[in-house]
Amino acid sequence: MTTKIWAASALLTGGWADSVEITIDDDGNIDGIAPDTVRVSGERVELLLPAMPNVHSHAHQRAMAGLGERASASADSFWTWRKVMYHYLERIQPQHLYHIAAQLYVEMLKAGYGCVGEFQYLHHDIDGSAYQSRAEMSLQCMSAARDVGLGFTALPVLYRYGGFGAAPPLDGQKRFLNETGGFIDIVETLQQASAGDANCAVGIAPHSLRAIDQGLLAEVIAGLDDLAAIHIHIAEQTREVDDCIAWSGLRPVEWLFEHFDVGPDWCLVHATHLDDTETARMAASGCIAGLCPTTEANLGDGFFNAVDYFERHGSWAIGSDSHISIDPVEELRWLEYGVRLQTRRRNVLASPTTANTGRNLFAAALAGGARACGRSIGSIQPGYRADFVVLDCDHPRLYGRNRDELIDSWIFSGNDNLVRDVYIGGRKLIENGHHADEDAIARNYRATLDQLAA
Ligand code: NGQ
Ligand code: ZN
């Protein structure tokens, strides 16, 4: 059965269109788009936008969001937060991860995210031994996404060392570790599990330059086919940059470009500390900067070099990372507010062709996010997934606004959630702000937290 949606206004690949009839095929792909069409049948919506990809998530951290905010005796930092996080994940077992991820993924859908890049590194049992399937934990995340209906790009994490120069791993990292063969097994298991599912893709995520060495990553890349994307944390903290220079004489992004063929299928997550040459190199390569402004603020990372990167037409995307905020609005807003506070100017991340800041940010994050997830999403055009968001245009924040103003007002005017409905692969999963299974999922989440606290 073919589904039809009729939108009074829709943001298509080429720009705004009115009275648009969208036909969706049985597989959940957009089949036809007919602007200026009188509505005959199909569900009527006011404003239809592509759903936003969320390119960076560590699902397990959803359960500890807010628990890293208590000052310790020493000066708190990214690294002290990491200790708290490592301690928290010590007890998480597969069924816990499933319920945490299901809750998280419902929250993502409700916020208007349509796909998640799950950067999953909690592979093994508590003592570091492999589960019966090495892919057990990543499969739990994949199942949660499929059950909830969220698009999913699995990014199983390659993790082998505790620091630059093949330093031995820390005790708290034993659940993360794999050699080449074990890691390839995880990726291939995920590829088999998702074969034929148009809502799923599989890439890889070397955790960071701290966690891999050149030979290991080269071997893994050579040993795998059909990867949706390669994601890596990079240059997030100044200490990481200093350690990289001390080890190799090169800055992290510099090192990566010298040793790997970084191109449009790479997503460099955070990339907070770039010099001018690195910024230019990233922009020219076509890789995606995976920006997570709320987590980067929360962890005290610093500011991404956005002004220069935007001037150089660099690609980028957003992620909710540690899940202290699950909201594309907040990520886009804080990206712009960061540069306003730094430059003491306004509308800094608008562009010569798109003067409306919110619209410019939204469109760029859709395009970069789709590519970083390695899927045909983020764009309303034939052949792409029917992943849509419908906003509540009667809400006082949006009422009376038109086209680009709607997106600007959504992103820059307040905090209540304006996402009314969300479709993934043509299925309406969020209706009037609710997911059909949200109560059961929330109950399981609470029971999981009780178990972890016991
Ligand atoms: C992570 N998260 O792997 O969850 C990291 C922290 C690390 C962020 N970088 C740990 N936001 O980088 O070693
Ligand atoms: Zn991360």
User: pLDDT at residue 1 above 80?
Assistant: no
In terms of Cβ atoms closer than 10 Å to its own Cβ (0-12, 13-18, 19+), residue 172 is middle
Ligand 1 in contact with 96 (CB < 6 A)?
no
Where b means 16+ CB within 10 Å and e means fewer, 135-168 reads bbbbbbbbbbbbebbbbbbbbbbbbbbbbbeeee
What is the residue with the minimal CA distance to atom 1 of ligand 1?
58
On whether the CB atoms of residues 122 and 172 are closer than 8 A, the answer is no
Q: What is the pLDDT, as a whole number, of residue 135?
A: 98
Place of tokens 């996010």: 369
On whether the CB atoms of residues 198 and 204 are closer than 8 A, the answer is no
Ligand 1, pocket-test mutation among 86, 233, 243, most atoms within 8 A of CB: 233
Q: Give the ligand 1 atom nearest the CA of 292.
A: 11
Phi and psi based region of residue 93 (left: phi greater than 0; alpha: psi -120 to 50; beta: remaining): beta
Ligand nearest to the CA of 267: 2
- Rounded Cα–Cα distance for residues 144 and 222 (Å): 30
Ligand 1 in contact with 208 (CB < 6 A)?
yes
On whether the CB atoms of residues 87 and 443 are closer than 8 A, the answer is no
Where b means 16+ CB within 10 Å and e means fewer, 77-113 reads ebeebeeebeebbeebbbebbbbbbbbbbbbbbbbbb
Residue 387 alpha carbon to ligand 1 centre in Å: 29
Q: What is the pLDDT, as a whole number, of residue 413?
A: 97
Q: What is the DSSP string of 119-169?
A: EE---S-TTSPPPSSTTHHHHHHHHHHHHHT-EEEEEEEE---SBTTTBPP
Mean of all residue pLDDT scores within the chain: 98
Place of tokens 């245009």: 393
In sequence order, the 6+-apart residues with CB closer than 8 A to the CB of 80 are: 72, 74
Query: What percentage of residues in the chain have a pLDDT greater than 90?
Result: 99
What is the residue with the minimal CA distance to atom 4 of ligand 1?
58
**Model pLDDT for residues 134-187, shown as the tens digit of each residue:** 999 999 999 999 999 999 999 999 999 999 999 999 999 999 999 999 999 999
* 171 tagged catalytic: no
Angle at which helix 328-343 crosses helix 357-373, to 10 degrees, equals: 120
Q: What is the largest CA-CA distance in the chain?
A: 67
Q: What is the pLDDT, as a whole number, of residue 73?
A: 86
Rg (CA), the chain: 21
Q: What angle do CA 181, 184, 187 make, to 5 degrees?
A: 155
Q: Kindly name the residue from 58, 99, 231, 270 that is annotated as catalytic.
A: 270
Query: What percentage of residues in the chain have a pLDDT greater than 70?
Result: 100
Angle at which helix 328-343 crosses helix 404-412, to 10 degrees, equals: 80
- Rounded Cα–Cα distance for residues 445 and 447 (Å): 5
When pLDDT is cut at 50, 70 and 90, the band that residue 314 belongs to is very high
**Model pLDDT for residues 350-390, shown as the tens digit of each residue:** 999 999 999 999 999 999 999 999 999 999 999 999 999 99
Ligand 1 in contact with 233 (CB < 6 A)?
yes
Helix intervals (H) in 299-437: 306-311, 328-343, 357-373, 404-412
Q: What is the pLDDT, as a whole number, of residue 427?
A: 97
Q: What is the pLDDT, as a whole number, of residue 2?
A: 62
**Model pLDDT for residues 92-143, shown as the tens digit of each residue:** 999 999 999 999 999 999 999 999 999 999 999 999 999 999 999 999 999 9
Q: Which two tokens stand for residue 120?
A: 């999953």
Residue 254 alpha carbon to ligand 1 centre in Å: 20
Beta bridge partners of 447: none
Q: What is the pLDDT, as a whole number, of residue 451?
A: 98
In sequence order, the 6+-apart residues with CB closer than 8 A to the CB of 33 are: 12, 17, 20, 21, 22, 23, 380, 381, 382
Ligand 1 in contact with 236 (CB < 6 A)?
yes
When pLDDT is cut at 50, 70 and 90, the band that residue 74 belongs to is confident
* 273 tagged catalytic: no
Q: How many CB atoms lie under 10 A from the CB of residue 366?
A: 25
